[in-house]
């Protein structure tokens, strides 16, 4: 039985969550004082959890540690694809060919790279706002203009303003839509109907889309995650980003799965990795 009530001391484990907030949020050092003690804060600023990584994952890591050498590493074992695609099939009723899977040391680095590979100078990157900030940072890093389509807030329940999204996608310079599915920070798990409407707009405008699905396993009971790839079955210009890091509280392992349909984009990615 997993013990969700156990309080695990993360001090002195180089945890960003515990020791990094002064530098990360405030660009300050230890001299910065708050009216509360550090351990009185409810640390919800960075998206990792206070729950232990499950035993089956720890056992796998221990088996790997016992091999004792940690040289340059890549996943060569086909078992990785089998396990991950099996997870997708079981949990989302969707899967993808092995040839589409590449790996990245995190979705953030992949986003930065993808903006560069997909868009040309003068083209724009669109996302739904409020938004996880790194979509904007990825666009800014490559000097791409970003376009925001504000969600409609009805008493805390956010929905897409489809007329606004449609108008912004109709701009031929808007080449890339970064979708957060489910959405950070509103927590919305997009419905099939919403995803189909977004897909129709993307297809009509022949846009690229990155579907960042990193939070897809953390849902309330009774909700289902629908990968955008399940709605856009044959759409070439789709990149899906997933990871075990939120699901199993493994963010420090810096591992993520990027599923690239376009042969050309995959060739660009592979040429640089
Ligand atoms: C929507 C979203 N994408 C990506 C990330 C970070 O991804 P990674 O740790 O794989 O770089 C986060 C982390 O909070 C996130 O909320």
Q: Give the DSSP per-residue string, the chain.
A: ---TTPPP--TTTT-HHHH-HHHHHH---TT---SS-GGGS---SSS--SSPPPHHHHHHHHHHHTT----S-----THHHHHHHHHHHHHHS----GGGEEEES-HHHHHHHHHHHHPPTT-EEEEEES--THHHHHHHHTT-EEEEEEPEEETTEEE--HHHHHHHHTSTTEEEEEEESSPTTT-----HHHHHHHHHHHHHTT-EEEEE-TTTT---TT-----HHHHSTT-TTEEEEE-STTTTT-GGG--EEEEE--HHHHHHHHHT-
CA of 111 to the centre of ligand 1 (A): 10
What residue's CA is closest to ligand 1, atom 13? 47
- Domain-embedded: residue 58: no
104 close to ligand 1 (CB < 6 Angstrom): no
- Please check the confidence at residue 136 and state whether its pLDDT lies above 90: yes
Instruction: Check residue 1 and give its pLDDT.
Output: 82
Instruction: Check residue 120 and give its pLDDT.
Output: 98
Kindly state whether residues 162 and 204 are assigned to the same domain: yes
214 close to ligand 1 (CB < 6 Angstrom): yes
184 close to ligand 1 (CB < 6 Angstrom): yes
CA of 115 to the centre of ligand 1 (A): 16
- Domain-embedded: residue 59: no
As a whole number, mean pLDDT of residues 135-147 equals 98
Instruction: Check residue 132 and give its pLDDT.
Output: 97
- Domain-embedded: residue 149: yes
What percentage of the chain has pLDDT greater than the value 90? 96
CA of 214 to the centre of ligand 1 (A): 6
Residue-range definition of the domain harbouring residue 232? 79-271
- Domain-embedded: residue 111: yes
- Domain-embedded: residue 254: yes
Instruction: Check residue 116 and give its pLDDT.
Output: 98
Nearest ligand 1 atom to the CA of 180 is 1
CA of 157 to the centre of ligand 1 (A): 22
What residue's CA is closest to ligand 1, atom 14? 47
Mean residue pLDDT of the chain comes to 96
CA of 84 to the centre of ligand 1 (A): 18
- Domain-embedded: residue 188: yes
Q: What is the pTM of this model?
A: 0.96
- Please check the confidence at residue 143 and state whether its pLDDT lies above 90: yes
pLDDT tier at 27, thresholds 50, 70, 90? very high
What residue's CA is closest to ligand 1, atom 10? 106
257 close to ligand 1 (CB < 6 Angstrom): no
Domain count of the fold of the chain:
2
Kindly state whether residues 31 and 83 are assigned to the same domain: no
Instruction: Check residue 111 and give its pLDDT.
Output: 98
Instruction: Check residue 2 and give its pLDDT.
Output: 87
Kindly state whether residues 136 and 253 are assigned to the same domain: yes
107 close to ligand 1 (CB < 6 Angstrom): yes
pLDDT in tens, 146-202: 999 999 999 999 999 999 999 999 999 999 999 999 999 999 999 999 999 999 999
- Domain-embedded: residue 63: no
Nearest ligand 1 atom to the CA of 243 is 10
What percentage of the chain has pLDDT greater than the value 70? 100
Kindly state whether residues 193 and 258 are assigned to the same domain: yes
Instruction: Check residue 42 and give its pLDDT.
Output: 85
Nearest ligand 1 atom to the CA of 256 is 10
Instruction: Check residue 33 and give its pLDDT.
Output: 92
- Please check the confidence at residue 39 and state whether its pLDDT lies above 90: no
CA of 46 to the centre of ligand 1 (A): 10
CA of 107 to the centre of ligand 1 (A): 6
For ligand 1, mutation pick of 134, 137, 183, 228 (most atoms within 8 Å of CB) = 134
Instruction: Check residue 267 and give its pLDDT.
Output: 98
pLDDT tier at 227, thresholds 50, 70, 90? very high
Kindly state whether residues 156 and 91 are assigned to the same domain: yes
Instruction: Check residue 38 and give its pLDDT.
Output: 87
pLDDT tier at 44, thresholds 50, 70, 90? confident
């Amino acid at each position: 039985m997993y013990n969700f009530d156990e309080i695990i001391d993360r001090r002195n484990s180089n945890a960003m969550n515990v020791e990094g907030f002064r530098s990360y949020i405030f660009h300050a050092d230890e001299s910065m004082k708050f009216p509360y003690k550090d351990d009185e804060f409810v640390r919800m600023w960075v998206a990792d959890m206070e729950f232990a990584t499950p035993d089956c994952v720890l056992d796998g890591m221990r088996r790997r540690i016992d091999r004792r050498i940690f040289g340059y590493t890549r996943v060569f074992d086909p078992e990785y694809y089998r396990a991950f695609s099996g997870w997708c099939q079981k949990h989302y009723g969707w899967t993808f060919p092995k040839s589409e899977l590449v790996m990245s040391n995190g979705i953030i680095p992949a986003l930065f790279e993808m903006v560069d590979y997909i868009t040309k100078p003068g083209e724009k990157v669109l996302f739904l706002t409020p938004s996880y900030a790194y979509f904007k940072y990825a666009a800014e890093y490559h000097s791409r203009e970003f376009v925001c389509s504000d969600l409609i807030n009805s008493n805390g329940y956010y929905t897409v303003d489809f007329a606004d999204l449609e108008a912004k996608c109709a701009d031929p310079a808007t080449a890339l839509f970064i979708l957060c599915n489910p959405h950070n920070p509103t927590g919305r798990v997009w419905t099939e109907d919403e995803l189909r409407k977004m897909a129709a707009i993307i297809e009509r405008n022949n846009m690229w889309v990155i579907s960042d699905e990193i939070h897809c396993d953390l849902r309330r009971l009774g909700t289902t995650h629908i990968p955008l790839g399940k709605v856009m079955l044959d759409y070439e210009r789709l990149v899906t980003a997933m990871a075990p890091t939120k699901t199993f509280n493994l963010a420090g392992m810096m591992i993520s799965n990027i599923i690239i349909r376009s042969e050309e984009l995959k060739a660009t990615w592979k040429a640089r990795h």
